[in-house]
Structure 1
Amino acid sequence: MKNSVTPRHTLLVVDDEPFILTAIERLFRDEQIKVRTAASGEEALTCLADEEVAVILTDNCMTGMSGLELLNRTKKIAPQTVRLMMTGYADLQMVLTAINEGEVYRFIVKPWHNQELITMVMEALNRYQLMRALQSSSELTLRSLAQTIELKDVYTRGHCDRVAHYALLLAEALDFSADRRKLMRHGCWLHDCGKIGIPGAILNKQGRLSRTEYDLVKQHPLWGLKVAEEAGLHQVVLDIIVGHHERLDGSGYPHGRRGAAIPLEARIAAIADVYDALTTDRSYRPCFSHATARDIMDKERASSFDADLLDLFWSLVVEPYPLTNNEQTEQKIR
């Protein structure tokens, strides 16, 4: 079964061993990807100058220019290209350092498993598409992107629209300007964009996640922040993406921020996000009623939520909002 990546994005594979290039080119023959190959870093730079490359996959140890040097230069001349590296165990620490410094997105150790390599490249292509979509100023494009991300989790269809609806009720009651409400809406649509890097099997798992799986899920605000920053999105949108799981007592993630250190828009989004999560079915439990959700959230008002915002929320919301993606309901700029 073919992957659902937009046809004809270019994957550039760089290695000084011809049989490696042939093997990878053959591996992606049935995928909707255009594969170009280069036998050296210098040849790869020529390819990058010729056309837009979505993903570059390079070996590190090559004659002449190393893979890391190539990726450093790629970052400067084609920053939108997602950078992947193949490496042997001897170079593992160097590659991990490069990942931490933002030079490399992912790596795979030789010899690789074919499905593992395909999955890594497809995730990189998804990240490239996410970046390109985030750079769009079109509200339709941003909302469509959010809905596409939701397709990974069958239990969150319509979640981004409902979170935006609840958050905008609060924003309007707080007399946010039209521009600020627009940014609030964009942030709520995109608040879970980092989940694009989480396997669907984890997002749709029946029952509780393992500690390792939960730790992976908790990375999604940081992953979303990274790609949104690179796309140049407004600070309000960034605050919502990275801060919607923060809690007032510092028990949230990813940064454990407390109280007023959590931006107002993120505190608003947190209330909207939790309420919608409680009042919709999830893989591990059925939905709660409005009354039960209110009781659960009120018990955490001192630790998790801005009490004044929560009181205002209850004055505005008396039942769950039924908006779903299938309704294709347009959110108006109020």
Structure 2
Amino acid sequence: MTDDQNKKRANLRDVAKSAGVSVATVSRVLNAPDAVRPKTREKVESAIRTLRFVPSAAARAINSGRTRFVGALVPTLDNAIFARFLAALEHKLLDHRLSLVVANTYNDPAIEVEKAKTLVDVGAEGLIVSGITHDPALDDLIERCQLPTIATSYHDPSYHLPTVGYDNMAATALALDYLAGQGHRDIAVVHGPLANNDRTRARMAGLDPVGHAAQLQFFETEIAILGGCRAASAILAAPRRVSAILCFSDVLALGVLFELQRNAVRVPDDLSLMGIDDLAASAHSEPGLTTVHLPVSRMGETSANAVAGWIETQERPAPVLLVPDRVIRGSPRAVEPG
């Protein structure tokens, strides 16, 4: 190794000594540069460049009492809807000089509690969780730590945590209303597991078959392309024929589409298809998938602003309702009601 490689990494004290200032001044330059006089700030920044100083997150936490990171607990990473949400969340947190650490809960409340404890142990200043159904141990942890926590993907002003999300009942109501308006009465509904998922249960509650004179058949499956394929096979094998399939997520709808095409079932000529989410891929399938757009990126940005504001001011934010809307493409067609 060279002498340069053998040198230890520069620390705050080295920078302070080189710049002729206190360690506290160096810390202010790093954490609140606008609070330092320009001439002093220039001296410190010059010393940082000369010493090739890279701030240590651990050291910064010790000096400031801040870790400046937020933890996000999501039920899966194997779904583009969460990828889009997390990307927007992280991008907006950066505007508040906060970082993001993500933990996968595998849609298991017990795992969610353990992952939350780990995030708290390493100093999370806030949490983002999915939905409003959680193990009581998670609520107890949040309460004991007085931890700013935002519940997402669900809107409920009465919930004990601030919610930033959409009306899941309204999303399925929009979808069913559109299909019924196209003349469909026999409709298959493909959804993910109901256990531990309040968003799916709320979407189920948003269906009003009586109001639309519709007959609904329900098919529960895993929320994945494979789950959609399996549901489509079950629909094709069912004794009662349907004219349309409504999927509670675009991931399921794309799986259904692939399986129908594999079985030479034409969409929309033979069967109409509709999803919920509005994933990027849905605009590029053939045919394009008609769906209900959920403002997931806006939910990420709004959640970031809410939790960052709560961390900085200690003031609890108000709940935020994000409104879904229909995106009409080529996968359904109108039929004459039978």
Output the TM-score relative to the length of structure 2. 0.28
Give the number of the structure whose residues are more often helix, by fraction.
1
- Structure exhibiting the larger radius of gyration computed from Cα positions: 2
Give the number of the structure whose residues are more often strand, by fraction.
2
